[in-house]
């Protein structure tokens, strides 16, 4: 997806730089370097091909066929090449479109909340406003160490309408809380995601903050900038690449949402079996592989598009 043209106004200058032909000697040297590196890279390349590229190509290839059974289906299916028929079906499948809308909504609300929290925590720890930064770092990071399914089970228990200590506690003080109603479900899922991933993103932003040279911060202080001002005008712009990175990871992660809703389904039977696109694809896997492949490919393309658009939006504002 990175083949899309990147950068509006600055594109011309960059393009010109790229077009400049390098010195022939340099080119020769780099070709030798590639040849030398190749044997070392071969094991990686083979694995990369075998478990990444080939399955992707196979999925795309499969998605162009339709399962074609006859009568009661007593004989094996003879797949028929039907081009984009599966894609037309998926794009007209209200259940699949609904799952896409759901993750889009969850991402649009949850990712900004989570990243702003992560950034704020990272800045606080970096500014050493409280003693014991190491302990805070570990505490915030801890939820990430828990496997997604375990976190899902734990939160399911806390959300469960009859067994949850939280629900019972709130009931005792007269608050009628439901975490598993149709309307509450997306927010309950967002809460798990935020709980699990804020610390992880904070660590990425924090390590980026650590690499800011001391003299820059010192210079800002000498110029009379307050801690707030330094954070906002010096530190945040300097860790922008890290924030963009965490944002892209989060967009991809949300689009591939699976563990949390699947485990929550045990306490929330109203959570449909095609709540997210991946759930929807896996549901059709055994009986209709090509259609499942189609959904997976569509999701991959959409994630690619979203990431590309996001990169483009964030690059345009970069200083030239």
Residue of 159, 150, 99, 57 whose CA lies nearest to 282: 99
* Footprint of another protein on 87-126 (CB under 8 A): 89
Q: Which one of residues 5, 213, 269, 319 is an interface residue with another protein (CB under 8 A)?
A: 269
Does an H or E element contain 114, and which? helix 94-126
- Please identify, using beta-carbon distances, which residue of 20 and 286 lies nearer to another protein: 286
Residue of 288, 251, 297 whose CA lies nearest to 91: 297
* Residue 224 engages another protein in binding (rule: CB under 8 A): no
- Please identify, using beta-carbon distances, which residue of 251 and 271 lies nearer to another protein: 271
Crossing angle of the two packed helices 54-62 and 289-316, in degrees rounded to 10? 120
CB of 2 to another protein, least distance (A): 27
CB of 106 to another protein, least distance (A): 19
Q: Which one of residues 27, 31, 69, 168 is an interface residue with another protein (CB under 8 A)?
A: 69
- Please identify, using beta-carbon distances, which residue of 211 and 286 lies nearer to another protein: 286
CB of 141 to another protein, least distance (A): 30
Between the alpha carbon of residue 234 and those of residues 19, 240, 315, the distances in Å are: 34, 10, 18
Cβ pair 295, 282 in contact under 8 A: no
Residue of 253, 243, 249, 244 whose CA lies nearest to 205: 243
CB of 299 to another protein, least distance (A): 19
Q: CA-CA distance, 293 to 62, in Å (whole number)?
A: 7
Binding site for another protein (CB under 8 A): 35-36, 38-40, 42-43, 46-47, 50, 66-77, 89, 157, 160-163, 181-182, 266-274, 283-288, 291
């Amino acid at each position: 997806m990175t083949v899309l043209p990147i950068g509006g106004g600055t594109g011309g200058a960059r393009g010109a730089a790229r077009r400049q032909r390098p010195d022939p000697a340099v080119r020769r040297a780099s070709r030798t370097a590639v040849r030398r590196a190749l044997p070392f890279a071969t094991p990686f390349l083979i694995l990369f091909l075998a478990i990444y590229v080939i399955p992707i190509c196979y999925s795309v290839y499969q998605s162009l066929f339709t399962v074609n059974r006859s009568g009661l289906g007593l004989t094996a299916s003879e797949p028929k090449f039907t081009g984009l028929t599966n894609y037309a079906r998926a794009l007209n499948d209200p259940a699949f479109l609904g799952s896409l809308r759901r993750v889009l909504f969850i991402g649009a609300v949850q990712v900004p909340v989570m990243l702003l929290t992560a950034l704020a925590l990272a800045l606080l720890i970096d500014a050493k406003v409280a003693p014991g930064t190491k302990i805070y770092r570990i505490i915030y990071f801890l939820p990430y160490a828990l496997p997604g399914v375990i976190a899902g089970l734990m939160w399911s228990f806390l959300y469960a309408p009859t067994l949850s200590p939280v629900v019972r506690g709130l009931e005792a003080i007269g608050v009628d809380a439901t975490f598993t109603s149709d309307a509450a479900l997306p927010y309950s899922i967002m809460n798990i995601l935020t709980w699990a991933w804020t610390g992880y993103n904070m660590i990425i932003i924090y390590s980026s903050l650590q690499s800011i040279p001391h003299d820059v911060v010192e210079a800002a202080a000498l110029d009379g900038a307050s801690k707030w001002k330094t954070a906002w005008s010096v530190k945040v712009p300097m860790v922008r690449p890290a924030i963009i990175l965490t944002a892209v990871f989060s967009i991809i992660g949300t689009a591939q949402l699976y563990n949390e809703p699947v485990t929550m389904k045990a306490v929330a039977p109203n959570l449909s079996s095609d709540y997210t696109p991946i759930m929807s694809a896996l549901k059709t896997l055994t009986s209709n592989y090509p259609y499942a492949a189609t959904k997976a490919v569509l999701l991959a393309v959409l994630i690619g598009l979203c990431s590309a658009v996001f990169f483009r939006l964030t690059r345009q504002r970069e200083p030239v």
